[in-house]
Amino acid sequence: MSTVQILENVQNFMNRSHGHFIHGKTVQNTHESRINIINPATEQRVATIADADQATVDQAVKSAHDAFVNAWASVSPYERSLKLNKLADLVEQHSEELAQLETLTSGKLIMISRHLEVAQTVIFLRHFASCATKIHGQTIQPSLPSMQGEKYTAVTLRQPVGVVAGIIPWNFSLMIGAWKIGSALTTGCTIVVKPSEFTSLSLLRLAELALKAGIPAGVINVVTGTGKTGQYLIDSPLVKKISFTGSVPTGISIGKQAMHNDLKRVSLELGGKNAAAILPDVSIDEILPLLIQSTFVHQGQVCAAPERFFVHQSKYDEFVEKAAQILKQLKIGSPLDESVVFGPLSNQPHFEKVKHYLKMAQDQIITGGHVIDTQGYFVEPTLVKVENIEDPLFIEETFGPIVTVIPFENEVELISMMNHSRFGLSASIWSNDLSKVFRLIPQIEAGSIWVNMHTFLDPAVPFGGVKASGVGREFSDAFIDDYTELKSVMIRY
Ligand code: NAD
């Protein structure tokens, strides 16, 4: 066992009396109530944060608006790119500190915090930095009739929408925060970020690093608080776009609220009940290690991770037996122990939700299914068989380490069962039969499809859901539409 020593600056940061980060400074509004930040591995309080009220949100939004008009608008695309790259450098230099903050507040394994959360934050920031100089309109030849020899031409401009509100879930605060910050800043927008009330510390620290990177005060603001704080942000007239990542019910409520606010722009990255289809040609021994790793990363608390396995009936018994063997051997324990591969759930309400599903699954459990009798929010990685596709365990997103498995007979049945879901975030097909794979891909209702892999996000590849899994796309250059207004100009000469 090798347990990580908490850095002195991490300890000092947690001990601070945290406020909000507004216009380059920590702002404390002493009348606001405090929210406890709990380490999910120990159930101990490690810090407190402020619960922003309306006045604080207004202050943050005004700061972002002033910075949009007076500071960021005059920063050239090239300079925006340099500053985002500088921020990426600073995140890299402070990677251990940020990784520890994430692990202490989200229960993410330290190796995942280091090599996924923080490392990907750097990679994504650099991707967004590279986009700043590539945002452009078009030149168009209109078809208007020319009566007296006049000519016409048209151009389109892309202009930043203005102040963006980024609302973030608790599973990958820093990385998802960087998606919103990077998208906003590279397109010339400014942002107010509201992290989850469970995991706000890493983004508060990132905002400080942004100032060091030369990003002007007010361009990035962070307000902490609950859903109410998010609602104040959506209602603020100076906020022109909401970029939300979180659950479907919250997403629907935010979408409605945004529409009531004069059709405010909104992009929604929501939940999933993602399918992994295991076709008859694969070797179960070959695919299982990667499939299990992609499924149970961060204890299954990953929006794109699979929660439904579909296994061809010829391989079903072998799959179930071997998957159970691997799951039984996963070492469960402290996320600060570098040898552990399965840590706690991230927070108490989520622990209660997962326990509810475990109870529901009791008669169907293949392996796992228990709450671990110790301090912290620990449960076993669990595989559950389902016989009926109306089973709530097959239908509802658990967002935890509970995966259902069901056999299929042929591809028609497979597609019908895979698409039997209100969600459509991601799916995977495990097969070396390319002809079959390419015939299945267009039939699957999901925004991302992986072949012989699952849960891999890359900044160059668009990401987002269909059906109730969301509206809009992140990454690549697909995000640019959502953060800019397209203005058309027609000229007669
Ligand atoms: P959540 O919807 O409960 O909360 C997300 C954020 O919204 C938090 O910051 C929360 O304080 C805020 N919020 C809550 N109610 C609000 C309201 N009425 N108005 C404005 N803001 C409000 O989600 P969660 O439990 O933090 O995260 C887990 C969910 O996120 C899962 O469903 C998961 O699938 C989804 N998720 C999706 C993606 C994706 O990219 N598609 C990525 C990560 C997580």
137/255 same-domain check: yes
Could you give the CA distance from residue 64 to residue 61 in angstroms, rounded to a whole number?
5
58/197 same-domain check: yes
**Residue 406 covered by a domain:** yes
Please give the distance, rounded to the nearest whole angstrom, from the Cα atom of residue 50 to the centre of ligand 1: 19
Contact between 336 and 41 under an 8 Å Cβ cutoff? The reply is yes
Please give the distance, rounded to the nearest whole angstrom, from the Cα atom of residue 168 to the centre of ligand 1: 6
The reply to whether ligand 1 has any atom less than 6 angstroms from the CB of 376 is no
Strand ranges, E, within 223-273: 239-245, 265-269
The reply to whether ligand 1 has any atom less than 6 angstroms from the CB of 175 is no
Could you give the CA distance from residue 211 to residue 217 in angstroms, rounded to a whole number?
7
The reply to whether ligand 1 has any atom less than 6 angstroms from the CB of 218 is no
168/69 same-domain check: yes
41/132 same-domain check: yes
Q: What are phi and psi of 301, to 5 degrees?
A: -90, 55
218/329 same-domain check: no
327/398 same-domain check: yes
Atom from ligand 1 closest to the CA of residue 195: 9
The residue type at 34: R
Please give the distance, rounded to the nearest whole angstrom, from the Cα atom of residue 165 to the centre of ligand 1: 14
pLDDT per 10-residue tile (average), the chain, 493 residues: 93 97 96 97 98 98 98 96 98 98 98 98 98 97 95 97 98 98 98 98 98 98 98 98 98 98 97 98 98 98 98 98 98 98 98 98 97 98 96 98 98 98 98 98 98 97 98 97 97 97
**Residue 16 covered by a domain:** yes
Pocket probe for ligand 1: among 196, 253, 425, the residue whose CB has the most ligand atoms within 8 Å is 196
How many CA atoms, within 13 angstroms, populate the side-chain half-sphere of residue 387?
A: 4
Contact between 231 and 257 under an 8 Å Cβ cutoff? The reply is yes
217/320 same-domain check: no
Write out the residue range of the structural domain in which residue 329 sits.
274-458
**Residue 1 covered by a domain:** no
Ligand 1, atom 40, residue with closest C-alpha: 269
47/157 same-domain check: yes
Please give the distance, rounded to the nearest whole angstrom, from the Cα atom of residue 177 to the centre of ligand 1: 12
Pocket probe for ligand 1: among 105, 234, 242, 250, the residue whose CB has the most ligand atoms within 8 Å is 250
Contact between 184 and 190 under an 8 Å Cβ cutoff? The reply is yes
**Residue 113 covered by a domain:** yes
**pLDDT on residue 1:** 64
Atom from ligand 1 closest to the CA of residue 272: 34
pTM for the model: 0.97
283/182 same-domain check: no
The reply to whether ligand 1 has any atom less than 6 angstroms from the CB of 327 is no
Please give the distance, rounded to the nearest whole angstrom, from the Cα atom of residue 75 to the centre of ligand 1: 32
Pocket probe for ligand 1: among 167, 350, 421, the residue whose CB has the most ligand atoms within 8 Å is 167
The reply to whether ligand 1 has any atom less than 6 angstroms from the CB of 169 is yes
266/279 same-domain check: no
The number of domains in the chain is 2
Active site (catalytic) residues: 269, 303
**Residue 305 covered by a domain:** yes
- Quote the tokens at residue 232: 């104040």
**Residue 394 covered by a domain:** yes
CATH number at residue 349: 3.40.309.10
**Residue 465 covered by a domain:** no
CA-based end-to-end distance of the chain: 76
Atom from ligand 1 closest to the CA of residue 251: 2
Please give the distance, rounded to the nearest whole angstrom, from the Cα atom of residue 318 to the centre of ligand 1: 37
Pocket probe for ligand 1: among 54, 303, 463, the residue whose CB has the most ligand atoms within 8 Å is 303
Ligand 1, atom 12, residue with closest C-alpha: 227
**Residue 103 covered by a domain:** yes
SS3 assignment, position 69: helix
